[in-house]
Amino acid sequence: MQEWEAESPLIIAKGKGTYLIDTEGRKYLDGTSSIWVNIHGHRHSRLDRALTTQLRQIAHSTFLGLSNPPAIRLARELIRLAPKGLRRVFYSDNGSTAVEVALKMAVQYWQQRQPSAGSKQSFLHLKLAYHGDTVGAVSVGNIELFHARFKALLFPTVQVDPPYCYRCPLSLTYPACHMACLDPLETLLKTRHRDLAGVILEPLVQAAAGMLTAPPGYLTRVRELCTKYHVLLIADEVATGFGRTGKMFACQHEGVTPDLMAISKGLTGGYMPLAATLATEEIYRAFLGRYEDWKTFFHGHSYTGNPLGCAVALANLDTFRREKTLVHVRQQTKLLARLLRPMASLQHVGDIRQCGFMVGIELVQDRQTRQPYPLEQRIGHRVAQACRVAGLLLRPLGNVIALVPPLSTKPRELTTMVAILHQAIVDQTEGKTSLL
């Protein structure tokens, strides 16, 4: 906080398209989609209109014993778009709470639907995982810098190494490794399945971990193992959902249906806080019973199913259709890959990881040994600050520079973003001017 105060944070007053505008009138390209939530750009007319139209009806009423038309329509639309088999929707208000809902649902499911399966009150997750900042979500996370201080508050879990191919803990190389990183996961499922309610992961990309991209087939194999050992698969699509990877949901790249799926961030196109946890019919039926059976899922939020959020979320999904957003993303993904290619030869760029419009550029002190920069040097922060001076706003993940533009970003804007980032990396790591 001391440094934050000293650096005089920008005060953003306006936004338009891919740009943010501060109180001094300076414009900045939004290279993080305002932390991965913005889809179609700021002040999109269709989303603006949906919000103001709904405001003329009602801003909010409780979801306890009631419902509202936008929430009903949105649930139907999410079921239509989600991986096949996810048939039920439980609303909440942010990614952390959507994960909390999934964890609690998983534990209660086993107690009520299949008590003979075992106590099943723990979870398996990946190392370096990040699933949110509430205590349950932190319990299935593993970023020491974020979570170490709160270990006394957390419930016990088991964890395995992620598919971090650039820094493989087994010192193997893909594809010759045959995804050997899955062997410890299967061993734990085989020996601990009576304790485990679920496996939770971010499909395809571990975002806050540094944009770690899983090799093809990894997700499919995890799904198969969960099915084999009777453990629920929980997909955290908070960061990867809503087109970021080139499909509406990352699970759809491999035709995988999880048992539970947490969504938020891009759900409203960056307009309102809203989240949901989607479940299969099998999960839902575990909560059916007479009043005195006490099978109720006792979980809720004051702003659950908020009509304003649901209305703008419907407009967001309608815009995906009208503007063929997923087609645009797939086309622009190829351009982005070409623009990033020259960066791979820079002296201190160790790895470039890309999945759709999610990019992580890992900076290293030594390319040969892959020696990382000490966190105290704040190399990622320095690069981001240099980008800010040049008109691009980014947020680093330690030594990894994350580039996650709005899906509506135009080719010219994308080119400018990468050029600014390239120059900033050269200036901060080599101390000289780039040829770009």
Residue 391 exposed, middle or buried by CB count within 10 Å (0-12, 13-18, 19+): middle
pLDDT number for residue 9: 84
Q: Could you tell me if 124 and 159 are in contact, meaning their C-beta atoms sit under 8 angstroms apart?
A: yes
How many whole angstroms separate alpha carbon 283 and alpha carbon 110? Answer: 9
DSSP string, 196-225: EEEEEE-SSEETTTT-EEPPTTHHHHHHHH
Q: What is the CATH number of the domain that holds 340?
A: 3.90.1150.10
Is residue 42 situated within a structural domain?
no
pTM of the model: 0.96
Which residues are registered as beta bridge partners of 364? Answer: 372
Q: Which two tokens stand for residue 139?
A: 């319990």
Tell me the average confidence (pLDDT) per consecutive run of 10 residues in the chain, 436 residues long: 83 98 97 98 98 98 96 98 98 97 98 89 97 96 89 95 96 95 97 97 97 98 98 98 98 98 98 98 96 94 96 98 97 98 97 98 97 95 97 97 98 98 97 52
Q: Residue 212 corresponds to which tokens in the numbers above?
A: 């770690």
Tell me the C-alpha distance between 122 and 140, whole Å: 10
Handedness of CA 322, 78, 326, 49 (dihedral sign): positive
Is residue 434 in some structural domain? no
The two tokens of residue 272 are 């309102």
Residue 83 included in any domain: yes
The answer to whether residue 37 is domain-embedded is no
Residues 153 and 269 in one domain: yes
- What's the confidence (pLDDT) of residue 8? 77
Question: Which of the listed residues 265, 299, 322 is the one where a domain comes to its end?
Answer: 322
Residue 225 lies in a domain: yes
State CA 429 to chain mean position distance: 29
State which of 278, 301, 322 marks the end of a domain: 322
Shared domain for 136 and 219, answered yes or no, is yes
Q: 293: which 2 tokens?
A: 């059976």
172/284 same-domain check:
yes
CA distance 410 to 414: 6
Distance CA(285)–CA(263), nearest Å, equals: 21
Q: Is residue 59 part of a domain?
A: yes
Last residue of a domain, one of 298, 322, 346: 322
Report yes or no: 310 and 51 within 8 Å, Cβ to Cβ: no
The total number of structural domains in the chain stands at 2
Which amino acid does the sequence have at 160? V
Q: In the numeric block, which tokens belong to residue 111? A: 């107690």
Counting Cβ atoms within 10 Å, is residue 338 exposed (0-12), middle (13-18) or buried (19+)?
A: exposed
**Distances from the Cα of 32 to the Cαs of 78, 267, 405, 410, in angstroms?**
25, 16, 5, 15
Backbone φ, ψ for residue 319 (5° rounding): -70, -35
Which helix or strand (DSSP H or E) is residue 365 part of?
A: strand 358-366
Predicted pLDDT of residue 24 = 96
Sheet holding 196-201, edge to edge: 86-92, 275-280, 260-263, 232-236, 196-201, 122-126, 158-160
**d(C-alpha 325, C-alpha 323), whole Å:** 5
* Same domain, yes or no: 108 and 195: yes
Report the largest interatomic distance among the alpha carbons of the chain, rounded to a whole angstrom. 73
Is 340 in the same domain as 235? no
Q: What CATH number did the domain enclosing 120 receive? A: 3.40.640.10
Instruction: Report the helix count and the strand count for the chain, using DSSP H and E.
Output: 14, 18
CA angle 349, 170, 214 (to 5 degrees): 60
Cis preceding linkage at 406, omega within 30:
no
Helix (H), strand (E), coil (C) string for 224-274 = HHHHHCCCEEEEECCCCCCCCCCCCCHHHHHCCCCCEEEECHHHHCCCCCC
**Residue 134 phi, psi dihedral angles, 5° rounding:** -80, 165
Q: Are 122 and 196 a contacting pair, CB within 8 Å?
A: yes
Q: Any bridge partners for residue 28, and if so which?
A: 20
CB atoms within 10 A of CB 363: 24
Residue 392, in any domain of the structure: yes
Residue 294 identity (one-letter amino acid): W
Q: Which domain holds residue 219?
A: 49-322
Q: DSSP string spanning 378-411?
A: -HHHHHHHHHHHHTEE-EEETTEEEE---TT--H
Domain membership flag for residue 77 = yes
Q: How many residues does the chain have?
A: 436
**What 3-state class would DSSP assign to 428?**
helix
**Same-domain status, 423 and 315:** no
Same domain, 330 and 419: yes
CA distance 283 to 279: 6
Backbone angles phi, psi at 67, to 5 degrees: -150, -175
